[in-house]
Amino acid sequence: MNSDPHLNGEKFSWQPNAKSLLFALLMTPLLISLGYWQLDRAQDKREILSEFQANQEAQPVGFEQLDVSVNLQYRQVQFVGELDASRRVLLDNRVRNTRPGYEVFELLTIAGSELKVLVNRGWVQASLDRNQFPEIDPVSNEVAGLVSSQTLGQVQLRGSLYRVLKGGLQLDDGIRAVENWPARIGWISTERATELFADQVFAYQLRLNSDSPGALTTGWPIVSVKPEKHTAYAVQWFVMSLVLLLLTLNANSNLSLWLKFKMSKTESEAL
């Protein structure tokens, strides 16, 4: 009979291996923390979707009716003002249905004020020639249905407010000031728009609805990853941590032999 208790299944014995224990001590907290991080992400996405649903169901309002003291993310609005097509921003590397393109941004000056709102008109396909910009028709008051002398040159736009969410990495495109319009840039936010346009810009951009005057190809995903997928990722991390603990226990003891011995003993007693 083998005298080494680690190789004997009659009695459970512990024979620690320093390297495997150190690896487990380092990796287990990491795997568990990744699982909880995914659960936090799932909760964040649920809050975003709930916020989107609530603000989408609210009746569209004009700028003067907005309560800027509350969170306006995804709030449905209807703004009247003048779009500046002479200073246009093309957000680069926007891919839809495997086709490269741009998202088109222009500034809207709210009627009766000097306030500027960054307007995302939607997506257009890019030319294979990088030196050739897409041809985009400006929005006229005839398109918007505003034809009185008081509203000449103004448009009525419908859409939802959006502010770029925190997090993620932004690659530096090297552009600090725009000398020639239209400007092709790698990323945009209302804070950056204030810098590029040299105008104070409202904290939220306006994403046009598909039925709004001036709308191009619209529609944006609310969240890139659904809460359910984050929860599934969390379960995977927790399972991996459990598997690591079991493997570590087995590598530092005679667990497998001991379990086999117990099972065979139970079977023999049952006969």
Specify whether 85 is located in the same domain as 152: yes
**51 domain residue, yes or no:** no
What per-residue confidence (pLDDT) applies to 241? 93
Specify whether 107 is located in the same domain as 232: no
pTM for this prediction: 0.68
255 pLDDT band, cuts 50/70/90, is low
Question: pLDDT tens across 13-56, in order?
Answer: 677 788 888 988 899 999 999 999 999 888 888 887 877 777 77
**247 domain residue, yes or no:** yes
Specify whether 185 is located in the same domain as 256: no
**59 domain residue, yes or no:** no
Question: pLDDT tens across 172-196, in order?
Answer: 666 777 778 888 988 888 888 888 8
Specify whether 204 is located in the same domain as 231: no
Specify whether 87 is located in the same domain as 202: yes
Distance CA 30, CA 22 (A): 13
Specify whether 149 is located in the same domain as 252: no
What per-residue confidence (pLDDT) applies to 172? 66
Specify whether 85 is located in the same domain as 199: yes
| Number of folded domains that form the chain | 2
**261 domain residue, yes or no:** yes
Express the helix, strand and coil content of the chain in percent, nearest 5 each. 40, 25, 40
**138 domain residue, yes or no:** yes
Q: If you ran DSSP here, which 8-state letter would residue 179 be given?
A: S
Closest CA to 153 of 113, 111, 106: 111
Q: If you ran DSSP here, which 8-state letter would residue 70 be given?
A: S
**175 domain residue, yes or no:** yes
Question: pLDDT tens across 103-162, in order?
Answer: 999 999 998 888 899 999 999 998 888 888 888 888 875 444 454 444 446 888 999 999
Specify whether 135 is located in the same domain as 92: yes
Distance CA 118, CA 199 (A): 10
Centre a 10 Å sphere on the Cβ of residue 271 and count the other Cβ atoms it contains: 4
Distance CA 52, CA 132 (A): 37
In DSSP notation, 211-258 reads TSTT--B----S-SS-HHHHHHHHHHHHHHHHHHHHHHHHHTB-HHHH
**231 domain residue, yes or no:** yes
Specify whether 182 is located in the same domain as 91: yes
Structural domain harbouring 24: 16-41+227-270
The two beta strands, 76-96 and 99-110, are antiparallel
**124 domain residue, yes or no:** yes
